[in-house]
Structure 1
Amino acid sequence: MPLSPTKYIFVTGGVLSSLGKGIAAASIATLLKNVGFKVSILKADPYINVDPGTMSPLEHGEVFVTDDGAETDLDLGHYERFLDVDLHQTNNFTTGKVYSTVIEKERRGDYLGETIQVIPHIVGEITRRMKEAAKGQDILIVEIGGTVGDIEGLPFLEAIRELRSEVGKKNAMNIHLTLVPYITVAGELKTKPTQHSVQELRRIGITPDMLICRAERPLPKELRNKLASSCGVERNSVIESADAPTIYQVPLNFLKDNILAPVSEVLDLGELKPHMEEWNTLVKRVIAPRDEIVIAFVGKYLGLKESYKSLTESLIHAGAHLDAKITIKWVDSEVLEEKGEKGLLDDVDGILVPGGFGERGVEGKMRAIRYARENGVPYLGICLGMQLAMIEFARNVLKIEDANSVEFNATCKNPIIYLIDTFLDTSGQKQLRTYQSPLGGTMRLGAYQCQTKKGSLLREVYQDKPTIKERHRHRYEANPEYRSAFEAAGLTVSGESDGLIEAVELEGHPWFIGVQFHPEFTSRLTNPNKAILGFAKAALATRHG
């Protein structure tokens, strides 16, 4: 029986950021989903940017793209990977988005001349968005970004305080994730940061029902009791969250700590017994796999690997299903360009070139692509990785020396890759969904259908499906004017979407595919993406000769 009304679980964080609120929220959601509830998650970010779309990867990490084309916080990627569901733009919003909406309403006269204030208008818009995301769900988990005490987070905390008061105590729960640091000099775990964080919450009218404590060492029973007493929670509601060998073990750790008992008590859910057998099997394979594969990951943001979070996680998913550890060999494309392939690529089972923007490092990436093409090494090119595969082929096989992308040379005579605007202007494909960024560029965002070519490797990888659906985030497209020349020389177009080239593959090569879409965005632990799984299988076959 569906729950009515929807239950809410609010997750806040204290002491400092990056403690893992997103993983904790996703883990609780996974357990509740495997009980049989319909569960969704919302991330509310207090930063004033409208969305992360224009933020630097050095500042924010990966931008995760939803099916409906929203550029969102990377935590939504964790939510989808844990829950195996498609989330939407309603599952992530920011202070910037909230204020923009309220100001637009005020300008239209929707408030009939009222003085616009944080309470009730801003807080009201926040709660409206939470209720919107809760529609049709048994349980909605709401993660509040940042930490308690951040000035920009106050309206969000006020919103969850008001919403719990509105729906009633049996329909909402507050979980606070905090740090219990181990002080080496003193030789003990310290509870004061948690106590102060909870005091800050209480000051604004929120009392946590549960504490999730990040700690480097196990929490002794006496310390748990102390936290329960000083923070006003039940003793069984102090949950330990220790570092785990994989994030996918966290739900199992929570289950072992009996986290669902206090959740059930607060929300009146009855006995909760999640079915985690498949999850447990996959986690065991992640931690102690039978095989190993080495993949060269050729990129330029290697100093901040969070920029590739979905892709690195998708390799973990594929490895779990193959019972193999996929070891990533990080290869800086600029170093590869300078020093060559020897020692960087000659000991790997597969080569992956991910998406990206800008000219820096592209020559090194093309060296990696040429090496894979000429030496029969399994290759997967994603977005820019497909585009560079086409440019490399045009230069070195078709002998078009000035072949390039207009991203790198706006006046090149042979634009193998050109702006999406050019396609729209010349073909009249008005049905193509695009988004105009504030910086003036047109982005192709979200999920699109792709028709796979009969008899192609791409169709085989996607289990003989004539039509697939994957997500995009890019501004540039492959120029169809060169298609016949490519195909005559052995680089076949194996995926198309409304006249756009979606995938290419190399005839006579063991496994060589470039895709314009981002397969990593739809990969989950229990359901790995087919393209990435196919690439990993090919690399495993290479290893075993």
Structure 2
Amino acid sequence: MKYVVVTGGVMSGLGKGITAASLGRILKSRGFDVTAIKIDPYLNVDAGTMNPFQHGEVFVLKDGGEVDLDLGNYERFLNKELTSEHNITTGKVYRSVIEKERSGEYLGKTVQIIPHITDEIKNRIREVSDKSESDICIIEIGGTVGDIEGMPFLESIRQLHNEEGENNVILIHVTLVPILDVVGEQKTKPTQHSVKELRELGLHPDMIVGRCEEPLNNKTREKISLFCDIPKEAVFSAHDARDIYEVPLYLEKENITDILVNHLDLSNPERNLEDWQKKVDNILEPDKKISVSLVGKYTELEDAYMSVIEALKHAAAEKNCGYEIIWTDAENLENNPEKVKKLEKADGILVPGGFGERGAEGKIRAIKYARENQLPFLGLCFGFQLAVIEFARNVLGLEGANSTELEEETPHPVIDLLPEQKEVDDMGGTMRLGNQITVLEEGTLVHRLYGKDKVKERHRHRYEVNPNYIEEIKDSGLNFSGRDLEGRRMECLEIPSHNFFIGTQFHPEFRSRLEEPSPPFLGFVNAMLDEENLDKKTGEI
């Protein structure tokens, strides 16, 4: 197994995850089988209970693992499904070691950071790598070099490097190269200090990727090479890209793969990024454009909806179409009903997943507008549930219809708690999570979009459509076109009389890829590209 370790210096948010994912993409384009591991030094066991404002979206893996959003980038760039084992957290490591100590596995020894914690970390890395049967494993160390919580992980990497050998481990350090407005010069001092911290921990970077606004100039590369003791050709520029999918193309142009495969003593086949380049060209230079109103309560933080944005981008790129997101604050729409008219500026309305009462009524107003005005609509998870509530209230006339999540004493609980959730007390990892099979009704719109009878998509929810209301809802014109294998749980809905009105209890965005766009999103984009619709809204086409 060959290991590519990516660390970050100076500050968080530099783009280690995109760098790691991009390295995986270009290695994959050379024919290597690549897997990835994200190490998060926080004490949480997983990301499931984290506030999106602090950590962005919670990405759900096929086995139900709730993880950091960087795992989503790995899957999208590698076009590969990962599992919860690919996310190692301090919480997971310490819990495992303490459980082993309690069971007497350490035979009376004093349990310490070294060797017990570091051994646990290395074992987890090796187990994931071995199970994947890949050629190369990319490991991203979360946080910033110097953070106290990251020390055991960096020590583990130092040991791994010594144990696996020079030609089997390569360390890449992503660091900030700022430009001071006063002098207009690229400054290398932050990089020098960050590398110094690494070396004090016994780690020496083999390659440095400089994050900067503009491409690194020759003088900057020479200075980093001199003070950080690495060859000049091992200093790479990760300057601002127009889109994240352009980053692999930037790095490949700098021949980063040649340095990687030479260091790891691998063969060096020809690059093959032509199809990737075509999709990126479609993103950057589209023939036409659509606008989507995304109605949510975390609209101030785009990372909270990263997978939704990427899935929309994938579908738009497939149609050589640009897109604009009109960020619509659900709470603002709830408190100011007259603002619902602003939705007419959009070519479609998307209500993503979410939880809780705040902003729910604003989302329902947006769904009603889409339904009554024949505007293409896509509702995901909570958006699916709210579409049922809106229909029950305004078409069936069930006054006060709601979800018991939002109103326990609602007279019409059209959305209710899953039966197996009624006795659940713990919040972490206890929802209906991960891949589930949905059976699609033949002849329906969602069946045509997927082109198959059964689909496997990822879930993250505690509530579902109340079976007591299903027939009444169907008789009034809303069809549940997808159900679980037992036929008890409603998974998809659509309104046949509408030009495009679809909701999914699952999260199709989690399995969308640039090379393989999600069918519901592709259908949503196609509906917005309707020639008559675009002529009316934007005058384009």
Q: SS of 1:494's equivalent?
A: strand
Q: Deviations over 1:347-377 (max 9, x none)?
A: 2111111110001111111111111111111
Structure 1 residues 223 and 422 mapped into 2: Cα distance closer, same or farther (>3 Å)? closer
Give the structure 2 partner of residue 503 of structure 1. Answer: 492
1:58 CA displacement: 1.1
- How is 1:22-37 mapped onto 2 (pairs within 5 angstroms)? 22-37=17-32
Q: Which amino acid aligns with 1:534?
A: G
How far apart are the structure 1 equivalents of 2:160 and 2:236? 25
Equivalent in 442, 458, 481 of residue 494 of structure 1: 481
How far apart are the structure 2 equivalents of 1:441 and 1:212? 36
Equivalent in 105, 118, 125 of residue 130 of structure 1: 125
How far apart are the structure 2 equivalents of 1:343 and 1:488? 30
Give the structure 2 partner of residue 170 of structure 1. Answer: 167
Q: Deviations over 1:488-538 (max 9, x none)?
A: 111011000131100111121101111100111001111111111111111
- How is 1:231-246 mapped onto 2 (pairs within 5 angstroms)? 231-246=228-243
1:341 CA displacement: 4.5
Equivalent in 455, 463, 467 of residue 443 of structure 2: 455
Q: Which amino acid aligns with 2:270?
A: K
Instruction: Please tell me whether residue 58 in structure 1 is matched to residue 53 in structure 2.
Output: yes
How far apart are the structure 1 equivalents of 2:240 and 2:90? 31
Q: Which amino acid aligns with 2:30?
A: V
- How is 1:6-21 mapped onto 2 (pairs within 5 angstroms)? 6-21=1-16
1:237 CA displacement: 0.5
Give the structure 2 partner of residue 229 of structure 1. Answer: 226
Give the structure 2 partner of residue 395 of structure 1. Answer: 393
1:300 CA displacement: 0.8
Q: SS of 1:31's equivalent?
A: helix
1:402 CA displacement: 1.9
Q: Deviations over 1:159-190 (max 9, x none)?
A: 11111111111111000000111111122111
In structure 2, runs of 5+ residues without a counterpart are: 537-541
Give the structure 2 partner of residue 430 of structure 1. Answer: none
Structure 1 residues 440 and 281 mapped into 2: Cα distance closer, same or farther (>3 Å)? closer
Instruction: Please tell me whether residue 197 in structure 1 is matched to residue 188 in structure 2.
Output: no
Q: Which amino acid aligns with 2:481?
A: S
Equivalent residue pairs, number:
529
1:442 CA displacement: 4.0
Q: Which amino acid aligns with 1:404?
A: N
Equivalent in 292, 297, 310 of residue 294 of structure 2: 297
How far apart are the structure 1 equivalents of 2:353 and 2:453? 25
Q: SS of 1:68's equivalent?
A: coil
Q: Which amino acid aligns with 1:52?
A: A
Q: SS of 2:464's equivalent?
A: strand
Q: Deviations over 1:257-277 (max 9, x none)?
A: 111121122111132422100
- How is 1:44-443 mapped onto 2 (pairs within 5 angstroms)? 44-135=39-130, 136-337=133-334, 338-341=336-339, 343-421=341-419, 438-439=426-427, 442-443=430-431
Q: Comparing 184-193 with 150-159, which one deviates more in the overlay?
A: 184-193
Structure 1 residues 263 and 422 mapped into 2: Cα distance closer, same or farther (>3 Å)? closer
1:230 CA displacement: 1.2
Q: What percentage of residue pairs aligned between the two structures are identical? A: 51
Q: SS of 2:415's equivalent?
A: strand
Kept after mapping to 2: 8 A contact 1:124/1:159: yes
How far apart are the structure 1 equivalents of 2:524 and 2:509? 12
Q: Deviations over 1:135-159 (max 9, x none)?
A: 1110000000001111111110011
Equivalent in 472, 476, 484 of residue 485 of structure 1: 472
How far apart are the structure 2 equivalents of 1:369 and 1:57? 23
Q: Deviations over 1:449-484 (max 9, x none)?
A: 000001111101102x00001001111111111111
Q: Which amino acid aligns with 1:185?
A: V
1:440 CA displacement: 8.0
Give the structure 2 partner of residue 432 of structure 1. Answer: none
Structure 1 residues 441 and 17 mapped into 2: Cα distance closer, same or farther (>3 Å)? closer
Give the structure 2 partner of residue 428 of structure 1. Answer: none
Q: Which amino acid aligns with 2:119?
A: G
How far apart are the structure 2 equivalents of 1:363 and 1:336? 8
Q: SS of 1:306's equivalent?
A: helix
1:110 CA displacement: 1.0
Kept after mapping to 2: 8 A contact 1:437/1:443: no
1:49 CA displacement: 1.1
How far apart are the structure 2 equivalents of 1:423 and 1:87? 26
Relative to the length of structure 1, the TM-score reads 0.95
1:305 CA displacement: 1.6
How far apart are the structure 2 equivalents of 1:321 and 1:94? 36
1:340 CA displacement: 2.5
Kept after mapping to 2: 8 A contact 1:341/1:368: no
Q: SS of 2:357's equivalent?
A: coil
Equivalent in 525, 530, 533 of residue 536 of structure 1: 525
Q: SS of 1:53's equivalent?
A: coil
Q: Which amino acid aligns with 2:466?
A: N
1:441 CA displacement: 8.7
Structure 1 residues 206 and 422 mapped into 2: Cα distance closer, same or farther (>3 Å)? closer
Kept after mapping to 2: 8 A contact 1:336/1:344: no
Q: SS of 1:54's equivalent?
A: coil
Relative to the length of structure 2, the TM-score reads 0.96
1:221 CA displacement: 1.2
How far apart are the structure 2 equivalents of 1:225 and 1:260? 20
Give the structure 2 partner of residue 42 of structure 1. Answer: 37
How far apart are the structure 2 equivalents of 1:460 and 1:397? 26
Q: SS of 1:340's equivalent?
A: helix
How far apart are the structure 2 equivalents of 1:356 and 1:539? 24
Kept after mapping to 1: 8 A contact 2:340/2:369: no
Instruction: Please tell me whether residue 469 in structure 1 is matched to residue 469 in structure 2.
Output: no
Structure 1 residues 422 and 193 mapped into 2: Cα distance closer, same or farther (>3 Å)? closer
Structure 1 residues 214 and 478 mapped into 2: Cα distance closer, same or farther (>3 Å)? same
Q: Which amino acid aligns with 1:166?
A: E
